[in-house]
Amino acid sequence: MLGLSPDAQAAPWFWTDQCGFNVQFVGDMSAPNWIVRGQLDTPPCVLFGLDEQGALIGALTVNLGRDVRSARELVDRRAKVPQEVLRDPSQALRARQSGLTRWPGPRPAVSQ
């Protein structure tokens, strides 16, 4: 309206507490490739969804709410983070945020 570009839309986010687990989702849950940080059978753990080009488009945390903010920032920026970093629980996600720029323009549509 004022000649300004609209702000990029943030990735969708949802959380639930079920059966003693806190589960939080951000971004596109239909990502074609998933990387696991931790062990699925013994939470806490994080799953990172990557598109075909290796950009982070989704994340799911189980009992790791402290990692959601960083994961949301990385998903919003469609960051390309090395898979070995995503798999390694000793690597701080927050450290990956600096220097990243937001995905230009509107976010690609989320698959239903």
pLDDT score recorded for residue 104: 46
Q: What integer best gives the mean pLDDT of the chain?
A: 85
Mean pLDDT across 14-26: 96
pLDDT in tens, 56-73: 999 999 999 999 999 999
Query: 26: which residues sit within 8 A by CB, 6+ positions away?
Result: 11, 12, 13, 14, 58, 59, 60, 68, 71, 72, 75
User: Which domains does the chain possess?
Assistant: 13-91 (3.30.390.30)
- Residue 78 clears pLDDT 50, i.e. is over it: yes
pLDDT score recorded for residue 59: 97
Other C-beta atoms lying within 10 Å of the C-beta of residue 1: 4
pLDDT score recorded for residue 3: 73
Query: Longest C-alpha distance within the chain, in Å?
Result: 52
